[in-house]
């Protein structure tokens, strides 16, 4: 073949790859930013209105980002050939493709997680998380070390070194400057990311539990002062939950105290009910073991909940004939949700006070939260303090913002 034609083709091939690379980088950056927003609890707290919008665009761009990869696939063999002699570039390519592959597969599973087994979607979520915590720092490292700016510094360093070498022999035989610069950059990125990664990984690592940390955050760890009298747990049935809660709130975690604790049932009832802590703790409780499913993909299995059956509470108040729905209010002042009266009478719908034999921690929704085990947990209102019987539908907090009207978990 004519040599000039050959080089022209090579050049064109290179340009195409470069284009695909740019698209891929653009999409990945967008996905990384929206993804990090989605896991950030500050974002959940401050901008819940746009959360679903961000989530949907994350999913859509995720699918669109398959395009450059699809266009790339037929070119891959040839690309690998051109990298025959560049081992580093080839390794980079393999690493990047594996990360993207794992993100894509787990991302697709998560998109359709409502149709899947909750164990599988929990696993997909963990893979998606881990690959994000590997992929995002890697992306940053990659874009820094490939930037013109970085290359210019490398070149300048190399030149300085050349100049010196003419005077004395290289004084640092172990690592050349180039490696030093790169490792420094890598270490810097790892240092910046490690607190976030640690924060994420903490619940999954079974860290040896030393003395409990001094409660710097009384609002998230404890009720101040509440539970005396504390409800005495029945011998737990089941127990030994598996999986980790992710603690959610759309406000600051509310502080619940003796002074502001009250529990009310009102609306279309025969007799409005109101309890303070002491009388509420006195109500007869039951125990059940149930799974806990979040619609974002994580689950906690075999949680032992102890509390009062919602139907018992409703019977005490006496539900008027006109009532069709039950509305739940959180003490955070913002979060609400509802069930139809039929759903509310189900045996496993519980106003819970203990988890695995202990008081429900504040950040977990205690001292009192709702549990609707067979529906996604956005129905399970935390810091529950009021139940109102109403005669119309009420659209709950997350449903107003895009979560499914049908909250049943398909099992």
Name the residues that contact ligand MTE, by CB under 6 A: 245-250, 294, 330, 332, 335, 364-365, 377-378, 380-383, 398
Q: Judged by CB under 5 A, does residue 124 bind Mo ion?
A: no
On the 0-12 / 13-18 / 19+ scale of CB atoms within 10 A, 196 is: middle
Residue labelled with tokens 């990311």: 193
Name the β-bridge partners of 329. Answer: 336, 386
Query: Residue 246's binding partner, choosing from ligand MTE, Mo ion, none, with beta-carbon cut-off 5 to 8 A by kind?
Result: ligand MTE
Q: How far is the CB of 362 from ligand MTE (least distance, A)?
A: 10
Torsion sign over Cα 78, 82, 84, 87: negative
Nearer to Mo ion, 294 or 389 (CB): 294
- Interatomic CA distance for residues 332 and 336, integer angstroms: 9
Nearer to ligand MTE, 16 or 44 (CB): 44
Q: How far is the CB of 298 from Mo ion (least distance, A)?
A: 8
Query: Residue 332's binding partner, choosing from Mo ion, ligand MTE, none, with beta-carbon cut-off 5 to 8 A by kind?
Result: ligand MTE
Pairing of β 325-330 and β 336-340: antiparallel
- Interatomic CA distance for residues 137 and 144, integer angstroms: 11
Nearer to ligand MTE, 130 or 256 (CB): 256
Query: Residue 329's binding partner, choosing from ligand MTE, Mo ion, none, with beta-carbon cut-off 5 to 8 A by kind?
Result: none
CA 166 to chain centre: 56
Nearer to ligand MTE, 14 or 203 (CB): 203
Query: Residue 368's binding partner, choosing from ligand MTE, Mo ion, none, with beta-carbon cut-off 5 to 8 A by kind?
Result: none
For 73, other C-beta atoms within 10 Å of its C-beta total 9
Residue labelled with tokens 């929206």: 34
At 178, list the tokens.
């180039």
- What is the contact mask toward Mo ion in residues 277 to 306, using x (rule: CB under 5 A)? -----------------x------------
Query: Residue 381's binding partner, choosing from Mo ion, ligand MTE, none, with beta-carbon cut-off 5 to 8 A by kind?
Result: ligand MTE
Cβ-contact 304, 239 below 8 angstroms: yes
Q: How far is the CB of 379 from ligand MTE (least distance, A)?
A: 8
Cβ-contact 207, 244 below 8 angstroms: no
Provide the 3-class DSSP secondary structure of residue 263. Answer: strand
Residue labelled with tokens 């504040």: 362
Query: Residue 325's binding partner, choosing from Mo ion, ligand MTE, none, with beta-carbon cut-off 5 to 8 A by kind?
Result: none
Query: Residue 121's binding partner, choosing from Mo ion, ligand MTE, none, with beta-carbon cut-off 5 to 8 A by kind?
Result: none
Residue labelled with tokens 């500050």: 42
Q: How far is the CB of 11 from ligand MTE (least distance, A)?
A: 53
At 208, list the tokens.
């040896």
Nearer to ligand MTE, 310 or 319 (CB): 310
At 184, list the tokens.
């420094």
3-state secondary structure 284-324: CCEEEEEEEECCCCCEEEEEEEEEEEHHHHHHHHCECCCCC
- Nearest-CA neighbor of 337 among 289, 390, 264? 390
Query: Residue 261's binding partner, choosing from Mo ion, ligand MTE, none, with beta-carbon cut-off 5 to 8 A by kind?
Result: none
Contacts of Mo ion in 342-381 (CB under 5 A): 377-378
Q: How far is the CB of 352 from ligand MTE (least distance, A)?
A: 11
Nearer to ligand MTE, 275 or 383 (CB): 383
Nearer to Mo ion, 341 or 409 (CB): 409
Query: Residue 343's binding partner, choosing from Mo ion, ligand MTE, none, with beta-carbon cut-off 5 to 8 A by kind?
Result: none
Q: How far is the CB of 246 from Mo ion (least distance, A)?
A: 8
Q: How far is the CB of 370 from ligand MTE (least distance, A)?
A: 8
List residues near Mo ion by CB under 5 A.
294, 377-378
């Amino acid at each position: 073949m004519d040599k000039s034609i050959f080089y022209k083709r090579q050049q064109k091939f290179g340009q195409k790859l470069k284009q695909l690379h740019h698209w891929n980088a653009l999409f990945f950056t967008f996905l990384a930013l929206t993804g990090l927003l989605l896991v950030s609890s500050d974002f959940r707290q401050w901008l819940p209105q746009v959360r679903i919008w961000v989530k949907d665009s994350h999913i859509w761009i995720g699918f669109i980002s398959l395009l450059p990869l699809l266009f790339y696939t037929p070119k891959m063999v040839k690309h690998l050939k051109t990298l025959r002699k560049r081992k580093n570039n080839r390794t980079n390519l393999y690493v990047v493709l594996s990360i993207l592959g794992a993100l894509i597969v787990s991302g697709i599973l998560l998109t359709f997680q409502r149709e899947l087994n909750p164990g599988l979607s929990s696993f997909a979520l963990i893979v998606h998380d881990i690959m994000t915590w590997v992929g995002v720092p890697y992306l940053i490292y990659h874009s820094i070390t490939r930037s013109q700016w970085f290359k210019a510094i490398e070149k300048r360093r190399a030149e300085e070194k050349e100049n010196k070498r003419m005077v004395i022999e290289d004084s640092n035989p172990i690592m050349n400057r180039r490696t030093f610069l790169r490792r420094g950059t890598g270490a810097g990125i790892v240092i910046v990311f490690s607190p976030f990664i640690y924060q994420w990984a903490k619940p999954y690592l079974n860290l040896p539990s030393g003395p409990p940390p001094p409660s710097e955050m009384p609002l998230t760890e404890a009720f101040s002062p509440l539970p005396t009298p504390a409800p005495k747990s029945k011998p737990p049935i089941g127990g030994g939950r598996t999986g980790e809660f992710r603690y959610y709130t759309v406000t600051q975690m509310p502080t619940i105290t003796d002074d502001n604790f009250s529990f009310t049932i009102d609306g279309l009832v025969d007799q409005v009910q109101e309890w303070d802590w002491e009388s509420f703790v006195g109500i007869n409780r039951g125990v059940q073991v149930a799974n806990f499913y979040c619609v974002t993909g994580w689950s906690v299995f075999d949680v032992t909940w102890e509390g009062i059956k919602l139907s018992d509470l409703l019977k005490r108040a006496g539900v008027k004939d006109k009532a069709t729905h039950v509305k739940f209010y959180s003490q955070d002042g913002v979060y609400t949700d509802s069930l139809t009266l039929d759903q509310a009478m189900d045996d496993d719908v519980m106003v819970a006070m203990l988890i695995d034999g202990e008081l429900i921690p504040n950040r977990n929704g205690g001292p009192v939260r709702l549990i609707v085990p067979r529906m996604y947990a956005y129905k399970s209102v935390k810091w529950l303090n009021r139940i109102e019987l109403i005669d119309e539908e009420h659209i709950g907090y997350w449903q107003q913002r895009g979560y499914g009207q049908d909250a049943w978990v398909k099992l």
